[in-house]
Chain A
Amino acid sequence: MTVAYGERTVLDRFTLDVDPGSWTAVIGPNGAGKTTLLRALAGTVDHRGRILIGGDAADDLSGRERARRMAVVPQHPVVPPGLRVFDYVLLGRSPHQGLRFSASDDDRQRTADVLERLHLTPFAHRAVDSLSGGERQRAVVARSLAQDARILALDEPTSFLDLGHQFEVLELLDTLREEHRLTVVSTLHDLSIVGQFADRIAVVDHGRLVAHGTPAEVLVPELIADHWNVDARTKVHADGSVTVAVQRRRPG
């Protein structure tokens, strides 16, 4: 797959396989092409090459069918002013709805279930834009879950959240992935966190895939030094997760 904005090639002959049920994290320095990769997956940016979703070429699917298979959480979701959490999460049902005046009982029930699952029921009648950052992010995740898609693509789901809320959201996604057997593809910028959640990591730099593998294979000090220009110590745990401690690079 190749994506270019005008003259500028952002993703260059990029190939990535994602296993069903896995959590693949796409990491890389700023401007590497992470968000563009997500947008190409989401079908919101033109690309050359092929994207296969469960064996079908994504471009051959209708927009609705694609949305039924893959839910997308953008980095900066647009929150319509004053829209209540219930109605916002109900938007996730739209790929399953035809033109009709009122949402079906099934759609409302599923929306209510998702709200309950994400502990958002007490907020159902609150406006999304009145929620705190962590609650709002949960509402956005809830909308994507209401889509009932097997694939969840998230662009920096934890940006603008403090450390506690970052873990909260990522834990939640991990639990949901296990419960609903979802395939998660997400970009993540925080190296210290990514090795604890992802089971596959793809490293992107300058629009190319430079490494792909398990956290233990990918998150090694040399690679981090090469692409982020920082020194890091890594620790591989018994369960295969990796913690990364980044150090200030001292002169001399």
Chain B
Amino acid sequence: MRRRTLHPTERPSGRGQGTTLGAPWLVGGCVAVVAAGLVGVAVGPVSIPLGQVVRELLDHLPLVDVDSTLSATEKAIVWDIRAPRVALGLLVGALLAGSGAAYQGVFRNPLADPYLLGIAAGAGLGATIAIVTESRDAIGFVDPVPFAAFAGALLAVTAAGTLSVRRGSVGSPATLILAGVAVANFFTAIQTFVQQQNSETLQQVFSWILGRLATAGWGEVRLILPYATVCIVGLLLSVGTLDVLAVGDEEATTLGLRPKAARRAILVLASLGAAAAVAVSGLIGFVGLVVPHAVRLTAGTSHRRVLPLSFLFGAAFLVLADVVARTIQSPAELPIGVVTAFVGAPFFLVILRRQLTS
């Protein structure tokens, strides 16, 4: 019988192996983060030239000694007002985008996002209860808001997931999103009820719901840093698992994975990050949707790329959105959720159209 030559044999090109992360993309992501950070520190009611910002930041690196010629007031603006806000924006953006990418992977659903799945609403309910009960004073040194937000987030994602999964098989994208919308509405209703019962904290809860990156010093950054670290490190270690989950539970099993346990672990990690972000910055929608999708469209769909790049570009995106939010109506500030929704909602519709046509 004739032996077929399948294709003319080509020598491997050497760089053919570098398909997992793609160094140029990683470098691009880091550059975006640094650039967004510098812009975030430089732009504001008091404009500080970029060159001086760079010098001031470099001066704080160990073993570097450069004079930034900033006045004491300007230094205070940089270190006490803008830098913490930028740092918080980087963390929250990374967490929202990264957890969004993880949810999309776990549910094999491109429309999954912390906001649409009701996770943000769940975290919101938890945080609201923590705020109105003033449990901070009761517990003392540990701020209970992130914990309460985490519990709410986990409850919401479990509810949405359970409602849309039947006999272990993940339902259609529409089912999950509809379940998420129902869960979100239910939790928001309870939250509104709790909030109305406690009008004295209304202002506090409201500003939180609209989503904001307003900070008082480094407190918020310190607060979510441990959760962010666990979430980011944990999810980065799960990229291979997420890729395996993408081929479905049956094939994942034959590849040696226990899909249910793996999904649960990744959901906990992602919810931890999303809840921490929601706890300090309120409900900022669409970041978890827009950023991972843009990454997938440009850099490919392996989670080995999608996750790290979502963290990086999510961080950069949110800081830039914040710059827009605080300059467009300066000196007044627009809630940052308005900016992300303005970009995100049309983007969401575009993805939805593509889903419908494919």
Contact = CB atoms under 8 A, between A and B. Distances in A.
Interface string A41-72: 01110000000000000000011111110111
A118 B12 contact: no
A83 B308 CA distance: 16
B244 A94 contact: yes
A78 interface: yes
Contacts of A122: 7, 10
B171 interface: no
Contacts of A86: 16-17, 19-20
B4 A171 contact: yes
A92 B257 CA distance: 11
Contacts of A127: 301
Looking at chain B's contact residues, the main secondary structure is loop
Contact of B240 (A65, A70, A97, A147): A97
A131 interface: no
A135 to B, nearest CB: 9
Contacts of B296: 82
Interface string B220-245: 00000000000000001111110110
B9 interface: yes
B247 A121 contact: no
Contacts of A71: 254
Contacts of A116: 12
A252 interface: no
A251 interface: no
B178 interface: no
A103 B314 CA distance: 24
B121 to A, nearest CB: 29
Nearest to A87: B302
A87 B243 contact: yes
Given A44-B254, A94-B257, A108 B4 contact: no
Contacts of B246: 78, 80, 83
Contacts of B247: 77-80, 91
Given A63-B258, A116-B12, A167 B237 contact: no
Contacts of B108: 80
B294 to A, nearest CB: 13
Contacts of B253: 42-44, 63
A180 interface: no
A204 B327 CA distance: 73
Contacts of B6: 118-119, 138, 168, 172
Contact of B301 (A65, A72, A80): A80
A29 interface: no
B21 interface: yes
A133 interface: no
Interface residues of B, number: 42
B304 interface: yes
B248 interface: yes
Contacts, number: 136
B251 A147 contact: no
Contact of A112 (B16, B238, B258): B16
Nearest to A80: B246
A78 B256 contact: no
A84 B257 contact: no
A221 interface: no
A126 to B, nearest CB: 11
Interface in A101-127: 101-103, 108-109, 111-112, 115-116, 118-119, 121-122, 124-125, 127
Contact of A95 (B12, B255, B302): B255
A67 B255 contact: yes
B74 interface: no
Contacts of A78: 246-248, 251
A68 B256 contact: yes
Contacts of B16: 86, 112, 115, 121, 124-125
B300 interface: yes
B357 interface: no
Interface in B274-316: 296, 300-302, 304, 308
B3 interface: yes
Q: Which of B13, B255, B257 has the most CB of A within 10 A?
A: B255
B248 to A, nearest CB: 4
A153 B300 CA distance: 30
B236 A101 contact: yes
Contacts of B241: 94, 99
Q: Which 10 A-B pairs have the closest CB atoms?
A: A67-B256, A95-B256, A82-B301, A64-B256, A86-B19, A80-B246, A72-B254, A87-B302, A78-B248, A119-B7
Interface of B: 1, 3-4, 6-7, 9-13, 16-17, 19-21, 108, 236-241, 243-244, 246-248, 250-251, 253-258, 296, 300-302, 304, 308, 358
25 contacts: A39-B250, A42-B254, A63-B253, A63-B256, A77-B247, A78-B251, A80-B246, A80-B247, A82-B296, A82-B300, A82-B301, A84-B301, A86-B17, A90-B243, A91-B244, A92-B255, A94-B255, A97-B240, A103-B20, A118-B6, A121-B11, A125-B16, A125-B19, A168-B4, A172-B6
